[in-house]
Amino acid sequence: MSSLLKILPGIELPVSQVTSTLASMWQVESADGNEAPSQFRASQMNLILHFGIDVPSDDALEQFNTVIKFAQRYPCRIIVLCPQEDSHSEELLVGKLYSRCFIGAEHRDMCCCEALMLGYLVSEPDFLENQISIWLEGDLPVYYWFYKVPAERIDKNYKNFLRSCRRVVYDSSLEGESYKKINWPSSVDVSDLAQARILPIRQTLGQFLSSYSPDVLVNDLKSVRVNYNPIYQGDAQRILLWLNSCFGKCSEINSENFKNIEFKTDANSNDNQKILEIEWEYTDSKHFSWQCEENYNSALVKANFGSGEISLPFQIKHLQSEDVLAEALFF
């Protein structure tokens, strides 16, 4: 069995018995005669979580728990793919089944989740695609989350199947630039979890800057720099793209000045607490800096746009992992 599959919760089953066991499990009535769990199960979508082979066990368990929490809010069938490289294994595919019901303040608030897990040999991608197709809930949209799967493996083995998916998500802070080079099928939307993760930052920073006129922000601006802790490289790139877009919309005020603005990111590991820092440099005495502390919980703005020094702390709404996933999948 795949080492990742071993650490995930659930019961091991022959692959051919996973769906039939799941169906019978949901139909079992409780001892007191109340409704079967199937009454509280109404999938709206399929969500595939595809792990890379080098994902540590604790990391895989954390992401699995994220999709379970996601499913409590957005009912779905979860399919988890766990690779292994043991070419001497007699089994090409190994199945595992997880199901759990979560009860709210009242019995009617119950929500039932299910996850079908598949351990597979990376050398047999054709078997993988066929099995996924059998396990999907028919007539429901399919969403796909790649987690540390090498880009070259996606390009070579999985793109045909992705044509039937509504959206693919990944995290550029984990994958770097490699996923941007994939020639994704034209029929599928591709979304970056880093873009979703910086939503509260864009909201709070945008609200602050909206109190100033565009010409005040753009005139005499020399450079825009985002310094970042290396583990947040994707977040930094997404913030820089957002700032570039914002200043581009202000370019009608001073289009020539906008052309001369330098946009760049720099990795900075000297201060691990400051995970992201935005600095604007002007040719005159104006300045702007924004520093975000660990976990995106708080930030500090220091600025002078010509009307005096400003120093303001900000509380930032922290998105849980399941909220970030939902933002990336649906928006």
What are the C-alpha distances in Å from 47 to residues 119, 195, 291, 299?
17, 20, 35, 34
pLDDT the model gives residue 116: 97
Kindly give, in sequence order, each residue whose CB lies less than 8 Å from that of residue 86, ignoring residues fewer than 6 positions away. Answer: 121
Q: Mapping DSSP to helix (H, G, I), strand (E, B) and coil, where does residue 120 land? A: strand
Phi, psi of 303, deg, nearest 5: -155, 160
The pLDDT of residue 127 is 82
Per domain, the residue ranges of the chain are: 3-165, 199-315
26 pLDDT band, cuts 50/70/90, is confident
* pTM over the 0.85 mark: yes
Tell me the C-alpha to C-alpha distance, in Å, between residue 15 and each of 20, 49, 53, 262: 10, 17, 20, 55
Q: What is the pLDDT of residue 14?
A: 93
Residue 231 DSSP one-character state: G
Which has the minimum average pLDDT: 52-61, 235-244, 253-262, 292-301? 253-262
Which residues make beta-bridge pairs with 117?
A: 80, 96
Average of per-residue pLDDT values in the chain:
88
How far apart are the C-alpha atoms of 292 and 299, rounded to whole Å? 4
Region 270-285 average pLDDT: 84
Q: What pLDDT was estimated at residue 40?
A: 56
Query: What does 175-217 look like in DSSP terms, one character per residue?
Result: HTTGGGGS---TTSEEEEHHHHHTHHHHHHHHHHHTTS-HHHH
pLDDT at 296 over 90: no
Angstrom distance (rounded) from CA 261 to CA 226: 14
pLDDT at 181: 92
Q: Which residues pair with 279 in a beta bridge?
A: 225, 289
Largest CA distance in the chain: 77
Percent of the chain with pLDDT over 70: 88
Under a CB-based contact definition with an 8 Å cutoff, are residues 146 and 182 in contact?
A: no
Alpha helix (H) residue ranges in 1-41: 3-7, 18-27
Q: How confident is the model at residue 50, as a pLDDT? A: 98
pLDDT tens track for 100-117: 888 766 556 678 899 999
Separation CA 274–CA 291 (nearest Å): 7
pLDDT at 214: 87
Q: For position 37, what pLDDT does the model report? A: 57
With contact defined as beta carbons under 8 Å apart, do 95 and 15 qualify? yes
